[in-house]
Amino acid sequence: MTSVVPDRALPDVVTAPGLPARVQIVEVGPRDGLQNEKQPIPASAKLEFIDRLGAAGLTVIESTSFVNPTWVPQLADAAEVFPAIARRPGVRYPVLVPNERGMARALDAGVTEIAVFGSATETFAQRNLASTLDGQFEMFAPVVTAAAERGLRVRGYLSMCFGDPWEGRVPMAQVVRAGVRLLDLGCAELSLGDTIGVATAGQVTALLAAFSAAGVGADRLAVHFHDTYGQALTNTLAALRCGVVTVDASAGGLGGCPYAKSATGNVATEDLVWLLTGLGVEHGVDLDALVATSMWMAGLLGRPSPSAVVRALGGSPA
């Protein structure tokens, strides 16, 4: 049985000026969190994971990816998983779509919202997308057009916004140009990814200011931080202070980047919820239910959750 320590379940609330009243959490655990797992995870477990996340109050759950199964074997069952999701009222279930072939598979499965995954650097575009920095936009254009024709919302991910394992520092102007091109294609929202977890709070503030100077307001941006150097929550707070109200997170801190030595997963949803709760920022998530879900998944994977809050509040894996 999973246990949660009742008298530690919530932090004291001390509000701070200059923060949004509410933050939209985009839960990426079922897709970004699980995609690099080597141990096969049954479709039934993925469906239970998605359902438990919805029951915990998460309203945007990225559920899978219609990528080539040879690239991401863990998500080869996307066409099986997505149609079988038990839809909860008010919950969105976006999926990642890499190209036209993936889009065709996604449409056959009945998706209603998609995301495309771009790169801010040449090398990562070549290695991860089999494209180029400029060529990737030609690949995304028909996908976004097909979505628009069907009234589907499209989100754009931009990876390597704060550093690249091959190219090192990434010029902010280059990141902004790539991000603006994704938005101009028709993406409703742009998620800025710290793919290898090297960002610092000052860097986050400066990049968001650069987007603002280019005419892209914080209302069109989201942040996607990895916690390799323990900076994900600090960077999140910096983004909130700049007006960002959408934050990606992964239940239990699942995930990682295969291209960065020692890179850890996304910021843990539980850790983010603890931070937001303590700041008096609304998020709609039941922390106890979320911790129990991550403990259950940790038991399934056979290892402890990397989330500090899960470790603090959780008992033995269910």
- Bridge partners of 61, per DSSP, are 27
Structural domain contains residue 6: no
Structural domain contains residue 296: yes
**What does the pLDDT read at residue 23?**
98
Structural domain contains residue 216: yes
Rounded to whole angstroms, the Cα distance separating 274 from 249 reads: 13
SS3 (DSSP) at 89? coil
CA 238 to chain centre: 18
**What does the pLDDT read at residue 6?**
47
Structural domain contains residue 2: no
Tally the domains of the chain: 1
Is 161 in the active site?
A: no
Task: Name the nearest CA neighbour of 210 among 158, 287, 257, 256.
Answer: 158
Structural domain contains residue 1: no
Q: Write down the catalytic residue from 161, 187, 242, 257.
A: 257
**What does the pLDDT read at residue 8?**
55
Task: Name the nearest CA neighbour of 146 among 179, 107, 109, 178.
Answer: 107
**What does the pLDDT read at residue 315?**
61
Structural domain contains residue 204: yes
- The low-confidence residues of the chain, meaning pLDDT below 70, are 1-8, 257-263, 315-318
Domain CATH number, residue 184: 3.20.20.70
Per the structure block, which two tokens stand in for 83?
């149609």
Q: Give how far Cα 84 sits from Cα of 27, 46, 94, 172, 268, Å.
A: 18, 10, 14, 41, 26
CB 273 within 8 Å of CB 11: no
Q: Does the global pTM surpass 0.75?
A: yes
- Bridge partners of 223, per DSSP, are 192, 247
Residue 27's region, left for phi above 0, alpha for psi from -120 to 50, else beta, is beta
How many other CB atoms are there within 10 angstroms of residue 43's CB atom?
15
Structural domain contains residue 7: no
Backbone angles phi, psi at 214, to 5 degrees: -90, 5
**What does the pLDDT read at residue 21?**
98
Burial class (CB in 10 A: 0-12, 13-18, 19+), 119: buried
CA 211 to chain centre: 20
Range of the domain at 47: 18-313
Task: Note the helical H segments in 74-121.
Answer: 78-84, 100-109
Structural domain contains residue 10: no
Percent share of the chain, pLDDT over 90? 89
